[in-house]
Amino acid sequence: MRFSNLLRGAFAALAALSLAACGINSVPAAQEEAKAKWADVEAQFQRRANLIPNLAEVVKGAGENERAILTQVTEARARATSVNITADDLDDPAKVEQYAAAQSQLGAGIGRLLASVEAYPQVQSNQNYLALQSQLEGTENRIAVAIRDYNEAVRKYNTTIRTFPDSVGANVIHGAEPMVPYKAVTEGAEAAPKLDMTAN
C-alpha cells in the first residue's frame, strides 16, 4: 500500500513537472509580458498626442507655412488617436501596421513642424515652446525604448510558443498565435526626430 502511494505521488509529481514544462505557465506568462509592454508603447504614444495641443497653441503665431504644417500635425494626431488596437489584436499584422502607420505620420509631422519653427526666433525663445520641445524629445526617446521592450517581449513569446516543449502546451492547450512586432512603416520612422534645443 505504501509503495502504491509513493508510486502515485511520484507519478503525480512527474505529471505536474511535465505539464509545467509544456507551456502551461510559460506561454501565458510570456503573452502577458508582451501585452504589458504593448500598454507601455500605447502610453508613450498617448503622451506624445497629449503634448500636441499645447505645441499648437505656442506655434500659432508663426508664419503661414507653419500653420499649414500645424494643421497637418493636428489632423495626423486625430488619425493616430482614432486608430485603436487592443492587446488581443497583437497577432493581427494588418491592425498593428495600421496603428504604426498612423503613429509614423504623426511623428513625421511633428519633426517637420519643429524644424520649420527654427526660422522663428520669437517662437524658439518662448519658454513654453522650449519646455514642450524638451518634453517631445523625451517622449520620442521613451517611445523608442517602449517599442524596443515590446519587440523583445514579443520575440520571447514567439520563441516560447515555437520551441519544444512549450510549443506542445502553446498549440494544444492555448491555441497560441505569434504576436506581431512593432515595425516602423515609413523610412526613418524608427529614429526619434532630432530636435534643436538651442534658440537662434
Most confident region among 76-85, 131-140, 144-153 by mean pLDDT? 144-153
Dihedral class, residue 23 (left if φ above 0, else alpha if ψ from -120 to 50, else beta): left
**What is residue 89's three-state secondary structure?**
helix
pLDDT digits (tens, 9 = 90+) for 77-88: 888 988 888 888
Average pLDDT over residues 122-146: 83
Between CA 107 and CA 192 the distance in angstroms is 8
Q: Cβ distance 106 to 77 under 8 Å?
A: yes
DSSP string, 26-55: HHHHHHHHHHHHHHHHHHHHHHHHHHHHHH
Query: In the block, which residue shows the cell 537662434?
Result: 200
Query: In the block, which residue shows the cell 515652446?
Result: 129
| 70 or 183: which leads in pLDDT | 183
User: In the prediction, which pLDDT does 74 show?
Assistant: 85
**For residue 57, is pLDDT > 90?**
no
**pTM greater than 0.85 (yes/no):** no
